[in-house]
Amino acid sequence: MLQLINNTSFSADRAALVGPDGDQFWVVIVKATYLLNEDGSIDPHPKPEPVCLSPLYSGEPGKSSLLREGEMVFDHPGTDVTLFATAHAPYEIPVRELDVTVSVGPVTQTLRIFGDRIWQGDMFGLRMTDPEPFTTQPVTYERAYGGTNVLGQKDGRQEKEPRNPIGRGFATSANTLSGRPLPNIEDPSHLIRSWSDRPVPVGLGPIPAMWSPRLEYAGTFDDRWRNERMPLWPQDYDPRQAQAAHPRLVSGEPLHGGEQVRLTNLTPTSDLRFRLPNAYLILTTSTRAGRFRQKVQLDRVIIEPDAKKLVMVWRSSLNCRARVRDVLSTVVEVKPHVRVAADGGRSGL
């Protein structure tokens, strides 16, 4: 009962989850890890990642960038695209600012990367110092617009930018900003001009569930919820709560594999192009009522140019109503894997 038989080289896991209205879901997650070569060709990675069951951070949870979101979910609208990358100046010639771009199929995001700057106060108010030259710059939310202000040293009162509390540049008073850093990462179409600007924080990595707007998508946890719904999700739960990618890096129509990927100024070679592998997964589930194939969706595409890694996460959710225990087993299979060459050609492994 509730068995998973994985006949692939990919990682896989399963769970019985409860949806917003109390329906029981039989969920199977399949995760492929690939080696991303410098020429754009792709091979199976020698160290496949396991399915991530809880959020993984780069440092202290809540005070550092999210590396992996929990991948076991009952629903996920569209496909998330996330990156853990470094901006690279072409030919290693120092620059003061630089645009980086990621494009995966229909999804595109361009960011402007600045060298270190600070707000400098004088008799005329605050001004930005010129960006310092750089050849590389980490693209993390710690360097994007946002942050936390400590208002009371004794009582620990704080004001946070709810969309990115670990960033830099946020303040409620000009008096607190002199000598403090500006963001290194901005939206080219909404650049910061004044200390009072409140741009939408931009980045390439995943957004934690406790940040806005994901927090609001979870719904209203009030007295009515406690009295009438708990432990179910609130009635105003929005499925977008499961999306961890920046909104501009979510493909509303799920990706399928085979899409063209282009990274600009995010690798030492400045331009990297490849196609997503097109793995054809077959999930066959046996229940007390019969045997059938489950629909599979690509939930997440994770690209790590520095680590030369590409990760793809698929999900299959079966709504069992109140009879998830009727599921006997699911067998996971994949059509023979093919090596994806830099020019998009393929050959058998």
The neighbour count for residue 175, using CB atoms within 10 Å, is: 9
Which ranges of the chain does DSSP label H, i.e. alpha helix? 214-217, 223-228
Residues 299-315 have pLDDT tens digits of 999 999 999 999 999 99
pLDDT in 10s for each residue of the chain, 349 residues: 889 999 999 999 999 999 999 999 999 999 999 999 989 999 999 999 999 999 999 999 989 999 999 999 999 999 999 999 999 999 999 999 999 999 999 999 999 999 999 999 877 788 999 999 999 999 999 999 999 886 655 656 778 999 999 999 998 888 888 899 999 999 999 999 999 999 999 999 999 999 999 999 999 999 999 999 999 999 999 999 999 999 999 999 999 999 999 999 999 988 999 999 999 999 999 999 899 999 999 999 999 999 999 999 999 999 999 999 999 999 999 986 545 555 555 544 4
First to last CA, the chain: 35
Contact between 168 and 143 (Cβ < 8 Å): yes
What DSSP element (H or E) covers 229?
Answer: none
Query: How much is the pLDDT for 158?
Result: 78
How far apart are the C-alpha atoms of 96 and 115, rounded to whole Å? Answer: 5
Contact between 113 and 185 (Cβ < 8 Å): yes
pTM over 0.75: yes
Q: What is the 3-state secondary structure (H, E, C) of the chain?
A: CCEEEECCCCEEEEEEEECCCCCEEEEEEEEEEEEECCCCCEEECCCCCCCCCCCEECCCCCCCCEEECCCCCCCCCCEEEEECEEEECHHHCCECEEEEEEEECCEEEEEEEECCCEEEEECCEEEECCCCCECEEEECHHHEEECEEECCCCCCCEEECCCCCCCEECCCCHHHCCCCECCCEECCCCCCCCCCCCCCCCCCCCCCCCCCCHHHHCCCCCHHHHHHCCCCCCCCCCHHHHCCCCHHHEECCCCCCCCEEEEECCCCCCEEEEECCCCCEEEEEEECCEEEECCCEEEEEEEECCCCEEEEEEEEEEECCCCHHHEEEEEEEECCCEEECCCCCEEEC
Query: How much is the pLDDT for 152?
Result: 57
